[in-house]
Amino acid sequence: MILCKVINFLQEIMQFNSLNDEICPKPFQPITAAEALGQIPIIKEPRLINDWVLWLEQRPEEKGRTTLMIREWWQLEQKAKELTPAPANLRTRVHEYGGGAWTAEAQDNLLLLSWIDDSNGCLWIQWWEGINEPKNVQKGILRELTDPICLSCKDSSSLADGLLDLPRRRWIGVMEKDGRDFLVSFSLDSVEQSPKLLHAPKDFVGYATLSPDGDYLAWVEWQQPQMPWDQSQLWLARINGIGDLTRKTLLIGGSSNHSDSISVFQPLWSSNGDLIVSEDSSGWWNVKISRQLEHGDKATSWHSPWPMFAETGMPQWVYGMRTCAWDGRQLVSAICKEGCWGLCLLLPDGGVEAIEQPFDEIAGLYANNGRAVAIAKNSTTQIGILEIDLNLKKWKHAPFKQASLEKNQISIPESFWFDGYQGKLTHAWYYPPRNSEKEASPLLVKSHSGPTSMAGRGLNLGIQFWTSRGWGVVDVNYGGSTGFGRSYRDRLDSGWGMVDVHDCAEAAKCLISAGKADPRHIAIEGGSAGGFTTLACLCFTDVFRVGACRYAVSDLSAMAKETHRFEERYLEKLVGPWPQEHRRYKTRSPLLNADKISCPVIFFQGMKDKVVLPQQTQSMANELRANQIPVEVHMFPEEGHGFRDRQVKIKVLEETEKFFIKHLGL
């Protein structure tokens, strides 16, 4: 049955390999770990302000320090200017994963920047002038008007996800303190002040957005044990004369005990005051709009002009995520279908007009005045900022760094569908090996994090590191992944450690049965939730011969009791209620089933990790050592959950390859 499923897939692969052999018949030099990792900044939260493009740039060569950059619109060849030089480090710690570290607004010829600095967790602002003058960053037309000003006091709270309410001279955003979220404000005219409380939700809050006339504020809330992609609510309030929120009204969604699970994503406003949001009551995150919103009337005001079997949202792990934007007169949306993203205009008559451009991994969409920007890449082009003139239907994109491989040396991922858990069609991306004459090659199975993340097909030099060495790679969108609708995402409900494990193992088995992968040389790797899947695959299947884990969950019971607030009750959906289902936690925890692992494992762990505590990794390694299983453990004193330092990333990849070669006998 499996062979029947993959016949068409294999024919495509053989045709692709034949074409690649004609183009590039001789082996090429494999890329190094230093070339694969640590040279490209992580780009976040781009914005358009007047004729300027601004974005956050996380720099691995500076140990992950994040700074704000600016350059002129459409001038991709222009060297960008850094607005927040060292020691500034723009990062938030709300919910541990952060996001929403900066915002800015233009007023007359002035630009007001605001950001959260990781060195002290405080809110800072700085005024610049020249935002409307003839534009040339290199000649310093944009000038510092003030030194950075600290608005907040340093304390135990965390701030994030702010917006600027310039008419009222204040910053509005999220404060996490003492195990609670709050909407708060800070005056732009005071220093080192205490916040003003605007709203105290039952649990979590964020994604606040101010109406064009400044009279209304909309935001999203959710409550444990739900995560925001499982169930959340859209709220609206009127802002009175002294800036307080009044007439607070629930517009979409119910309480955490409500039977209808609706997830709300990224509310925003049109120029004429229509409220726009993505929500998934149809089974897909689709855009809804409330025309001429009557305050408090949620029964009749909402319309869904653009129904589609595709996603216009994604799991809100961090603040600052955007997939829809209003450019001043029309709605622009990023749309995901079967693991690939595109860009469209959502027309007033319900039509959908595709924006022609070559990129299929897109994030951080923002639009203004007939222009749009987004973070974009595809299978052969590195990440960069995509700029689109929506009126002229033209685009520009410049990768932040050219790939170390020629295009004809890059392994292009092929969409791969197979029978997964309970026979349900499941998706993966298969990367054929390059630089190999073997028909059956070593195979690396990648289990993504989240576990709600999605394996995309944008250029990933970490994957090309392996394919350039003759490995095949399969990046599995196991049940529970995003990008394929609500029912696909819900496959993991109560099934973590079963659904994902079966799907990753079955993807490997398909390729083995097809003669594309050598059963003696099958490896698996993953980080965080993907690390848990990796360990569980080693425990409960006999497919894999070696594994690599980064900050991996190994003890479900410990995570249920010890992890940070944001995910404190996440396992109730993924595994079951704790402690009522303690047997299920025990039977699926790799730590408590370590005697079932018979192959070598390498571990990487940050000592400052608050999501997966370092003790989990140490305990798992100790259990394997006691069972005479070859183990390596690499601990990094300054890293947390997710590695940021360039040298650390390079070391992880190099040590993983050495470990695989040694224990697979390659």
pLDDT at 24: 44
Token representation of residue 531? 């690390």
Which tens digit of pLDDT belongs to each residue from 10-53?
A: 444 444 444 444 444 456 789 999 999 867 899 999 999 999 99
556 and 476 in one domain? yes
595 and 484 in one domain? yes
**CA 594 to centroid of chain Cα atoms:** 31
**What residues are paired with 631 via a beta bridge?**
601
Q: Which of 223, 174, 170 is nearest to 193 (CA)?
A: 170
- Residue 620 · residue 591 · CB < 8 Å: yes
Burial of 489 (0-12, 13-18, 19+ CB in 10 A): buried
458 and 332 in one domain? no
Domain count, the chain: 2
In the chain, the percentage of residues whose pLDDT exceeds 90 is 85
Classify residue 119: in a domain, yes or no: no
Question: At residue 605, does pLDDT exceed 60?
Answer: yes
Classify residue 374: in a domain, yes or no: yes
Q: Cα–Cα distance between 349 and 328 in angstroms, integer?
A: 17
Classify residue 630: in a domain, yes or no: yes
Classify residue 434: in a domain, yes or no: yes
Classify residue 334: in a domain, yes or no: yes
What does the pLDDT average to over 610-623?
Answer: 94
Classify residue 597: in a domain, yes or no: yes
507 and 391 in one domain? no
Q: Cα–Cα distance between 375 and 458 in angstroms, integer?
A: 11
637 and 510 in one domain? yes
Helix or strand or coil: residue 534? helix
Q: Identify the band that residue 557 occupies on the pLDDT scale cut at 50, 70 and 90.
A: very high
Give the β-pairing of 472-477 and 441-447.
parallel
pLDDT at 460: 95
Give the β-pairing of 302-303 and 286-290.
antiparallel
Range of the domain at 329: 322-401
- Residue 452 · residue 482 · CB < 8 Å: yes
Which tens digit of pLDDT belongs to each residue from 305-361?
A: 999 999 999 999 999 999 999 999 999 999 999 999 999 999 999 999 999 999 999
Phi, psi of 464 (to 5 degrees): -65, -25
- Residue 314 · residue 453 · CB < 8 Å: no
- Residue 226 · residue 567 · CB < 8 Å: no
Most confident of 5-14, 130-139, 638-647: 638-647
Classify residue 383: in a domain, yes or no: yes
Buried/exposed 513-529: b ≥16 CB within 10 Å, e otherwise = ebebbbeebbbbbbbbb
pLDDT at 485: 96
What does the pLDDT average to over 469-497?
Answer: 97
Q: Which of 385, 401, 417 is the last residue of a domain?
A: 401
548 and 481 in one domain? yes
pLDDT at 299: 45
**CA 353 to centroid of chain Cα atoms:** 26
Token representation of residue 239? 């802002």
Question: At residue 237, does pLDDT exceed 90?
Answer: yes
pLDDT at 298: 46
Q: Cα–Cα distance between 117 and 160 in angstroms, integer?
A: 10
550 and 600 in one domain? yes
Which tens digit of pLDDT belongs to each residue from 175-231?
A: 999 999 999 999 999 999 999 999 999 999 999 999 999 999 999 999 999 999 999
In the chain, the percentage of residues whose pLDDT exceeds 70 is 92
pLDDT at 448: 96
Q: What is the DSSP letter of 137?
A: G
Q: Identify the band that residue 3 occupies on the pLDDT scale cut at 50, 70 and 90.
A: very low
Q: Which of 38, 35, 41, 82 is nearest to 383 (CA)?
A: 41
pLDDT at 139: 56
pLDDT at 110: 96
Token representation of residue 197? 């409380």
Amino acid making up residue 419: D
380 and 410 in one domain? no
410 and 397 in one domain? no
| Mean pLDDT value across the chain | 92
528 and 419 in one domain? yes
Task: Supply the CATH number for residue 6's domain.
Answer: 3.40.50.1820
Classify residue 46: in a domain, yes or no: no
Q: Identify the band that residue 259 occupies on the pLDDT scale cut at 50, 70 and 90.
A: low
Amino acid making up residue 372: A
**pTM, entire model:** 0.91
Q: What is the DSSP letter of 608?
A: T
